[in-house]
Amino acid sequence: MRSLHVAGTGMLAQQTNVEVISNNIANMSTTGYKRRRAEFQDLIYQNLRRTGTQSSEQGTVLPAGAQLGLGVRTGAIYRISEQGNLSQTENRFDLAIRGNGYFPVQLPSGETAYTRAGTFALSPEGIIVTPDGFPVGQGIAVPAAARDVTINAAGEVLAKLDGQVEPQNVGQVQLAIFPNEGGLEATGDNLFLATPASGEAQLGAAGAVGYGQVLQGFIETSNVNVVQEITNLITAQRAYEMNSKVITTSDEMLSTLTRLR
């Protein structure tokens, strides 16, 4: 009985759906987190009567055949890249991106990762780094004698020094954009790596055409809508229950067959 297998694939699909939703809810307070959405595809069909085949010697054809679906599978889990809310923190090294772009981050392995989570700080050497100590961009050093640091919308880091009227430009935080953001590989710790699907990173100044602006003293919150996620969770739960009911019904039908004399 095909319905046993079909309903089983439906339960597996809804289990994946619940796992994606639960990850969204778990990360509702994660800085820069982008919610995910599971997409599903129907499996191959079994043709009992193929549409368009000849049905008589006179050349008549079947206008509609008979196809039986064999279930569902997970096709993809998409990342929704819409802008999260901007929360003011007053921390001078908290940065948010309003618009497109990612902050480049230099990993100890030599690779470049990318992030939307701009909760940065200074290392003992005065380098702007992530919470894990990874340099942002090419490593922007802030002088120890700086009384104040301003990062403007273009990502320029301006240090105010004693005895100088004009602030000193000590570097610029560049942004990276990609032809396909959805192709980035999430590695945890709010970091992403470029892949052949995402395309090569295109570095540019914040505020340029196609690039967002940098806001100092703000962070981007998660774009998870809790109400929508709870609604999706209830829908997935009901779908899981209905698939389990199909299995129970199919089992009862098979039991009826075995009792026939």
Q: Is 198 helix (H, G, I), strand (E, B) or coil?
A: coil
pLDDT at 244 (0 to 100): 95
Rounded CA-CA distance 49/71 in Å is: 19
Instruction: Give residue-wise pLDDT tens across range 108-162.
Output: 999 999 999 999 999 999 999 999 999 999 889 999 888 899 999 999 999 998 8
Q: Residues for the chain: how many in total? A: 261
Instruction: Give residue-wise pLDDT tens across range 80-110.
Output: 989 999 999 989 999 999 999 999 999 999 9
| Neighbour tally for 21: CB within 10 Å | 25
**Model confidence band, residue 48 (pLDDT cutoffs 50, 70, 90):** confident
Inform me whether the pLDDT recorded for 166 exceeds 90.
Answer: no
pLDDT at 261 (0 to 100): 67
Inform me whether the pLDDT recorded for 72 exceeds 90.
Answer: yes
Rounded CA-CA distance 18/16 in Å is: 5
**Model confidence band, residue 232 (pLDDT cutoffs 50, 70, 90):** very high
Instruction: Give residue-wise pLDDT tens across range 24-36.
Output: 999 999 999 999 9
Rounded CA-CA distance 132/259 in Å is: 66
Residue 243 neighbours by CB under 8 Å, 6+ apart: 7, 8, 10, 11, 14
pLDDT at 257 (0 to 100): 85
Instruction: Give residue-wise pLDDT tens across range 184-227.
Output: 999 999 999 999 999 999 999 999 999 999 999 999 999 999 99
pLDDT at 69 (0 to 100): 87
CA distance readout (Å), 227 to 193, 232, 235 = 30, 9, 13
Instruction: Give residue-wise pLDDT tens across range 51-68.
Output: 778 777 777 887 877 878
CA-based torsion, 21, 25, 27, 28: positive or negative: positive
Rounded CA-CA distance 174/225 in Å is: 30
Q: 87-91, 158-162, 164-168, 233-237: which has the highest mean pLDDT? A: 233-237
Q: Which residues make beta-bridge pairs with 176?
A: 102, 203
